[in-house]
With several copies, the nearest count.
Chain A
Amino acid sequence: MNRLTYSPIDPGAAIAKVRSVDAGAVVLFLGTARQSTAGRSTSSLDYEAYPEMAAKELAALEDEARRRWNLVQCAIVHRLGHVEIGEICVAIAVSSAHRQAAFEAGKWLIDEMKRTVPIWKCENWADGSSDWVHPGLSEEGTSG
């Protein structure tokens, strides 16, 4: 169950989606908008996606996670648009019979999501400038 949304993410809803009498373990990961990055103050974020492809990639990650671990349920929600500091950018919830699978799958899903899913973050700095974040591109290249 994967979703892109322009509205605030409700972590309780993500948990509710994966809880089950067959699961002994639930792991929820939340990525939240931090006030400062590498010592620099952020005032807000903006997320952009290629939505059709992001949905496909998220579904593929969920399928792969279910293949690798014996998950009971799996839910991923990613925020798009304008995000204030402290708000939730992404929620990944997984459930499994035992805790090791839930921890491993949760960690793997966020690592892979950051590597492959076509979603981009723009940092709106407190000084008024903005930068698209593109890991591996040169600093000058990403200044927007």
Chain B
Amino acid sequence: MIVRVRLFAIARHLAERGLWETTLPDQATIAALRRQLEREIPALAGLANRFRFAIDARYAGDCEQIPPGADVACIPPVSGG
């Protein structure tokens, strides 16, 4: 399946794009997505293990499967306030 991942802040800045499109096996997990991110965007390789991910605007754990067509986002440590 094709997975579209929104990138923010340092991730967006270092990846030089706000949206990253990648292909993963059906029922792939967030952990697989994280490994894919390290491979496909080397600029983020050293940081990817500190990022969280969200599926459909909710934090998702590493074991969670990504549903087809889900709204996925990469969430670097937040700094609002």
Interface residue ranges, A against B (CB under 8 Å): 31, 47-50, 52-54, 56, 78, 89-90, 110, 113-122, 132-138, 141-142, 144
Known contacts A50-B6, A132-B13, A119 near B46 by CB under 8 Å: no
Decide yes or no: A50 and B79 within 8 Å by CB, A132-B13, A137-B47 being known contacts: no
Interface size class of B (residues with CB under 8 A): 20 to 34
Binary interface profile of B, 9-20, with partner A (CB < 8 Å = 1, else 0)?
Answer: 110111000000
Question: In the complex, are the beta carbons of A136 and B80 less than 8 A apart?
Answer: no
A-B contact count (CB 8 A): 91
In the complex, A89 Cα to B78 Cα: how many Å? Answer: 14
Given A132-B13, A144-B10, are A119 and B57 also a contact pair (CB < 8 Å)?
no
User: Besides A113-B81, A137-B77, 19 other CB < 8 A contacts?
Assistant: A47-B80, A50-B54, A52-B71, A53-B58, A54-B80, A56-B58, A89-B81, A90-B80, A110-B81, A113-B80, A115-B78, A117-B80, A118-B80, A133-B79, A135-B77, A136-B77, A137-B47, A137-B76, A144-B10
